[in-house]
């Protein structure tokens, strides 16, 4: 039975990955997510079921449309692959299954979508981040109330307050960073989307975690930026998709939050 449920989870990951890949292309164009069915962007040929199997069709068709032979972007495969991996990871670390489904649909799916939308198109749509803030309150409450595993779980009021302070801390911090950046450089470094994403992450994890997630995102973003400058792929003025780093750091925190925070606090202690 264990193997069978794992297969279902892999299929769920592939399915959600396929949806995410489609959404990353269609949302920036303002197209509907539900119709028409998946088609080749080049020749408009509607994909039959065997041309539309996540992860597999891409490899089987040699990364080309079967009709017009135009190439299919590798990013679909990356999106489908990472969604499948994260889904399996969430299933293996979050139990019972209701907890897994909650985090999968309320957090991982929108967060992966935001990571790739910001990376590819530098957008973090309100249509995802604003409901995302509400989902953050709901998930944080359900997590603390039913899944925390502590003998005396926090009351609903305290849990909602944790999310509220998290959302305010996340939003206000990024607002200040954006304002200081704009004041010192004279142009926008971060947009309103980043601020709402910060509030969303704060609602999911509370105010203590949100600063730690910002810290991870800043470090990884800075290292990535420096590597790109050294490799001469970027100039100093190239804008990094900070939302992608924020989203990735939040996903990392879901899986490795406790040990990462321990290590971070340990390093702080060493320098005191």
Shortest Cβ distance from residue 45 to Zn ion (Å)? 5
Nearer to Zn ion, 61 or 154 (CB): 61
Distance from C-alpha of 170 to C-alpha of 209, rounded to nearest angstrom: 10
Give, in order, the Cα–Cα distances in Å from 56 to each of 14, 60, 61, 80, 245: 10, 6, 9, 10, 28
Interaction of residue 122 with Zn ion, rule CB under 5 A: no
Nearer to Zn ion, 62 or 155 (CB): 62
Interaction of residue 176 with Zn ion, rule CB under 5 A: no
Nearer to Zn ion, 40 or 169 (CB): 40
Distance from C-alpha of 208 to C-alpha of 143, rounded to nearest angstrom: 16
Q: Give the distance, in angstroms, between the CA of residue 78 and the centroid of all CA atoms in the same chain.
A: 14
Shortest Cβ distance from residue 54 to Zn ion (Å)? 18
Strand, helix or coil for residue 176: helix
Distance from C-alpha of 129 to C-alpha of 143, rounded to nearest angstrom: 20
Nearer to Zn ion, 73 or 89 (CB): 73
Shortest Cβ distance from residue 34 to Zn ion (Å)? 21
Per-residue binder mask for Zn ion (CB under 5 A), 57-86, x = binder:
--------x-xx------------------
Distance from C-alpha of 91 to C-alpha of 141, rounded to nearest angstrom: 20
Find out whether 21 and 50 touch, Cβ atoms under 8 Å: no
Interface residues with Zn ion (CB under 5 A)? 40, 42-43, 65, 67-68
């Amino acid at each position: 039975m264990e193997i069978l449920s794992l297969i279902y989870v892999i299929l769920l990951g592939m399915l959600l990955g396929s949806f995410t890949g489609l959404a990353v292309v269609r949302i920036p164009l303002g197209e509907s997510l539900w119709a028409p069915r998946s088609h080749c962007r080049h020749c408009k040929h509607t994909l039959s079921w065997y041309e539309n199997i996540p992860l597999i069709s891409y490899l089987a068709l040699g990364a080309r449309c079967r009709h017009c032979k135009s190439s299919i972007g590798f990013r679909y495969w990356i999106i489908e692959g990472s969604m499948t991996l994260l889904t399996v990871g969430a299933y293996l670390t979050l139990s019972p299954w209701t907890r897994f489904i909650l985090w999968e649909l309320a957090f991982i799916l929108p967060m992966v979508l935001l990571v790739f939308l910001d990376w590819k198109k530098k957008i973090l749509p309100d249509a995802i981040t604003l409901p995302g803030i509400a989902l953050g309150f709901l998930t944080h409450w359900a997590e603390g109330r039913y899944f925390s595993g502590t003998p005396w779980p926090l009351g609903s009021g305290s849990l909602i307050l944790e999310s509220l302070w998290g959302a305010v801390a996340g939003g206000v911090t990024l607002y200040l960073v954006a304002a200081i950046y704009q004041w010192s450089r004279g142009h926008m470094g971060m947009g309103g989307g980043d601020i709402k994403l910060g509030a969303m992450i704060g609602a999911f994890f509370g105010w203590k975690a949100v600063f730690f997630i910002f810290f991870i995102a800043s470090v990884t973003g800075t290292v990535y930026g420096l590597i790109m400058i050294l490799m001469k792929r970027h100039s100093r003025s190239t804008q990094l998709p900070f939302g992608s780093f924020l989203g990735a750091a939040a996903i990392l925190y879901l899986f490795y939050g406790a040990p990462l925070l321990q290590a971070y606090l340990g390093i702080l202690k060493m320098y005191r």
